[in-house]
C-alpha cells in the first residue's frame, strides 16, 4: 500500500480563455426530457470533476489538440443531444428535466505551463492545483438552469459530468431502503461536515496487498470480489479512525450497477443512471470487534438486494417521500470506476496517462464518497487507487490501523489460524 506521491507537487500557472458554447454540428430535436425517478435523487445533485492526462509524445500527432476536442464535441452532441441542453427544475415538485435546446456545452480553452511528468511517477488523485485546473461550473438549482456537461479544454483535458442523466420516468412498488433516513439516525449537516476540515490521501492496493488481505477472509467467503474485500477493509478501518461511540449505527453503501437486472433489458443506447446504493448496517462496536468476514458478509448481502423490483421501489420511494437524500451521518459510500473506461478515452492521442476522478472528496459532504480508480505503482503493477478523505487526526489513525492490518494479514499467511485472525484491534 502506498499513500505518497513520489515527486513534490508542481507549481504552475494556468491561463484561461473566455468560456464558449460548442453546439451540435447538425440540427437536433428540441424537446423536454423528464429525468427518471432514479436520476432525480437528491443525493445525486452534485458534479464529479474528471481529469484526463495525455503525454506530449502522443499529442504530436496533432498541432491543435484543442481544435480536435472542439470538433469532436460538436459531432458527438448530434447523437447525445441532451448534453447540449440545460438541466432545470419544472413544476412545483422540483422535478428535474433536460431542456434539449441544442445550445451546446460550456468549453474553456486553457494553457498550463506544466508537463504530465511533473505530477510524479504515479498519477493519482488528489492532484495539486485543482483550483487552477478546474473551472467552477455554476451549480445553482431552481430557476437557474445548469448544463449537464461542462468541458474545460486544458492541455490536461478536463471533463466534468453532472451525475443526473436524461431518461424517461419509471414507477414501481414501494419498499424499505436503509440508505435513507428513517428516524433511527439524525441527519444533519453539522455532524457530517466534520469531514470538511480534512485531508485527502491516495492509497494504492496492488497484487501483494490484495493477496495479503485475502489471508483474513474466512473459507466460506473466499470467492468474494476484490471490491467487496476492500469495501470491508476500508469500512472497518475508517470507522475505527473516526473514534465513534460503539453504539453508533454505521452504514456502508456501494454503487451497484443495475443495468442488467431488468427484464426486458434497458433499451440499447440508454445513458441515464441505472444504479442503486444499498446500505449495509451495523454498530461501530460490532464492526470493530468482529473479524473481516463479518463486514464482507454484510456488504455482499446489501449488494445482492439489488433486483429489478428493488430499483422500482427506489423510484417509488423518491416520489412518495419527496426524493430524500441518502443518510450522510456515519455513512460511507464507495463507487467502483475501474471499468468506466476513462483511461481508454482516445481523442487520437492514444490511451490517457491517467483518466478518472480528479479529487477524493466529491458531493455535498467531502469524505462520504470514495472512488476505486485503476492505477499502476512504480513497478508498473496494476492495482486500485482509493483517495480517502478524513479529518487530519482521523487520517493519522487510519494510516496506522491500515498498516497494522496489512502486517497482520501478511503474518496470517504463515499461520495455521489465518482464517480466524481478527481484522483490527478495537480502538474503543
Which residues, including other chains, have CB under 8 Å from residue 267's CB and lie 6 or more apart? none
Residue whose cell numbers read 498541432: 63
CA distances from residue 269 to 73, 76, 211, 259, 273 in whole angstroms, order as listed: 18, 14, 38, 11, 12
Q: Which of 64, 136, 182, 346 is catalytic?
A: 346
CA distances from residue 41 to 37, 92, 265, 392 in whole angstroms, order as listed: 7, 16, 22, 31
Which residues, including other chains, have CB under 8 Å from residue 82's CB and lie 6 or more apart? 33, 98, 100, 148, 166
Q: Please tell me the distance from the alpha carbon of residue 48 to that of residue 187, in angstroms, as a whole number.
A: 23
Which residues, including other chains, have CB under 8 Å from residue 22's CB and lie 6 or more apart? 70, 73, 74, 77, 104, 105, 107, 151
Active site residue 346: yes
DSSP letter at 409 equals: H
Helix H or strand E segment including 396: helix 392-412
Whether residue 274 has a cis bond before it, omega within 30° of 0:
no
Active site residue 182: no
DSSP letter at 2 equals: B
Per 3-state DSSP, the chain is made up of helix, strand and coil in percentages (nearest 5) of 30, 25, 45
Q: Which of 34, 170, 171, 325 is catalytic?
A: 171
Which are the catalytic amino acids? 171, 346
Amino acid at each position: 500500500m502506498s499513500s505518497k506521491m513520489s515527486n513534490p507537487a508542481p507549481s504552475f500557472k494556468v491561463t484561461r480563455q473566455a468560456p464558449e458554447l460548442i453546439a451540435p454540428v447538425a440540427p437536433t430535436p428540441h424537446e423536454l426530457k423528464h429525468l427518471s425517478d432514479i436520476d432525480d435523487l437528491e443525493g445525486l445533485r452534485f458534479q464529479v470533476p474528471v481529469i484526463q492526462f495525455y503525454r506530449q509524445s502522443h499529442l504530436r500527432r496533432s498541432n491543435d489538440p484543442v481544435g480536435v476536442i472542439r470538433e469532436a464535441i460538436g459531432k458527438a452532441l448530434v447523437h447525445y443531444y441532451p448534453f447540449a441542453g440545460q438541466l432545470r427544475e419544472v413544476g412545483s415538485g422540483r422535478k428535474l428535466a433536460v431542456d434539449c435546446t441544442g445550445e451546446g456545452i460550456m468549453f474553456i480553452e486553457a494553457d498550463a505551463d506544466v508537463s504530465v511528468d511533473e505530477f510524479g511517477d504515479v498519477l493519482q488523485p488528489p492532484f495539486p492545483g485543482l483550483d487552477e485546473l478546474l473551472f467552477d461550473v455554476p451549480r445553482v438549482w431552481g430557476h437557474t438552469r445548469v448544463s449537464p456537461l461542462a468541458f474545460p479544454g486544458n492541455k490536461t483535458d478536463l471533463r466534468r459530468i453532472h451525475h443526473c442523466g436524461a431518461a424517461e420516468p419509471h414507477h414501481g412498488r414501494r419498499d424499505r431502503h436503509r440508505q435513507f433516513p428513517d428516524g433511527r439516525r439524525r441527519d444533519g449537516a453539522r455532524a457530517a461536515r466534520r469531514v470538511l476540515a480534512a485531508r485527502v490521501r491516495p492509497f494504492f492496493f496492488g497484487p501483494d496487498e490484495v493477496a495479503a488481505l485475502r489471508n483474513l477472509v474466512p473459507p466460506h467467503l473466499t470467492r468474494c470480489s476484490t471490491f467487496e474485500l476492500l469495501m470491508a477493509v476500508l469500512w472497518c478501518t475508517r470507522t475505527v479512525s473516526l473514534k465513534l461511540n460503539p453504539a453508533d449505527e454505521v452504514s456502508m453503501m456501494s454503487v451497484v450497477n443495475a443495468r442488467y437486472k431488468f427484464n426486458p433489458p434497458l433499451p440499447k443506447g440508454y445513458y441515464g443512471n441505472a444504479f442503486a446504493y444499498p446500505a449495509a448496517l451495523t454498530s461501530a462496536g460490532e464492526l470493530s470487534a468482529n473479524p473481516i468476514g463479518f463486514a464482507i458478509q454484510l456488504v455482499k448481502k446489501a449488494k445482492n438486494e439489488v433486483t429489478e423490483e428493488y430499483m422500482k421501489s427506489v423510484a417509488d420511494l423518491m416520489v412518495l417521500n419527496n426524493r430524500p437524500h441518502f443518510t450522510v451521518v456515519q455513512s460511507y459510500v464507495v463507487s467502483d470506476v475501474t471499468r468506466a473506461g476513462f483511461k481508454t478515452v482516445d481523442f487520437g492521442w492514444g490511451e490517457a496517462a491517467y483518466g478518472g476522478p480528479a479529487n477524493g472528496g466529491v458531493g455535498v459532504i467531502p469524505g462520504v464518497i470514495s472512488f476505486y480508480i485503476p492505477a499502476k505503482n512504480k513497478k508498473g503493477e496494476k492495482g486500485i487507487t482509493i483517495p480517502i478523505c478524513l479529518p487530519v487526526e482521523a487520517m493519522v489513525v487510519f494510516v496506522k490501523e491500515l498498516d497494522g492490518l496489512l502486517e497482520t494479514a501478511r503474518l496470517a499467511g504463515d499461520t495455521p489460524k489465518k482464517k480466524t485472525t481478527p481484522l483490527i484491534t478495537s480502538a474503543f
